[in-house]
Structure 1
Amino acid sequence: MVYRLLADVMMVLHGAFLLFFAIGGFLAWRWRKVIWAHLAVGVYNIVNVTLDFACPLTGVEKHFRREGGEVPYDGGYIAHYLDGRIWPEGATPIAEKVGFALLIVSYVGFFVLGHRRKRRAAREESVVTRT
């Protein structure tokens, strides 16, 4: 019973990890320090997709499922939970490209907003020093 609960917790955490990958860069627009965690997640996902290795989060979930008396699913988390449910079956490569496009767009926005903030702060400082 406990192992099945732990497996379900891992499933939810894994989903949250993937969701953070998709939107974490945009969250950093508001909370700038989030960018460091998102950079780590982004690099991890780039390496994972490039080298195509098994995600350890999936391995932990499957371990808990086995310990709980369940037969773990074949394949990875995305193939099992998302492919054919969140997007059309077989469209995972497109979903990956969309995820990485979101990462790039969010980082461009992050740097543009950061530049604007610095310019605004410099302008406000020059107004204060002139008066």
Structure 2
Amino acid sequence: MIWRLLADAMFVLHAAFLLFFVFGAFLAWKWRKLIWVHFGIVIWNLAIVVIDYDCPFTGTEKFFLRRGGESVYEAGYINHYLDGTIWPEGATPTAEKVGFALVVIGYVGFFVLRRRRRGAAAQDDVRGDSVGPRT
């Protein structure tokens, strides 16, 4: 029972990790320091896709499933849970490209917003601190 619960926890953690990979840069628009955590996760995911090695989250989930006497799926997490359910079967390479494109869009937006904020802060410094409304 505990092993199945641990396997389920790994499933949820893995899903959260993947969602953060796709949308984390957008969260960093609000919480800027989050970009560094997200950058590490992007490098992690890029390495998994380029080098094509097994994700430790998947291996851990499969370990817990085995210990609990459950059958273990053959493919990786994405192919097992998402391919054919979230997107059409066999479209995982396209889904990966969309995911990475969203990451790039998130980073572009992050740096555009950062630049605008710095520009606005610099203009506030030039104007000086006034108490009343600006006209």
- Give the TM-score normalised by structure 1: 0.97
1:129 CA displacement = 6.3
1:71 CA displacement = 1.2
Higher helix share: 1
Equivalent residue for 2:60? 60
Q: Percent identity?
A: 59
Equivalent residue for 2:96? 96
Structure 1: gaps spanning 5 or more residues: none
Larger Rg: 2
Is 2:79 the counterpart of 1:51?
no
Distance 2:96 2:19 in 1: 12
Equivalent residue for 2:123? 123
Tell me the amino acid that sits aligned with residue 105 of structure 2.
V
1:130 CA displacement = 9.0
Counting matched residue pairs gives: 131
Structure 2: gaps spanning 5 or more residues: none
Equivalent residue for 2:82? 82
Aligned-partner SS, 2:29? helix
Distance 1:86 1:20 in 2: 17
Aligned-partner SS, 2:28? helix
Task: Render the CA deviation track for 1:20-77: whole Å, top value 9, x for unaligned.
Answer: 0110000000000110110001001111100110000000000000001101111100
Distance 1:130 1:10 in 2: 54
Distance 1:36 1:20 in 2: 12
1:124 CA displacement = 0.6
CA RMSD in angstroms, aligned pairs only: 1.3
- Give the TM-score normalised by structure 2: 0.94
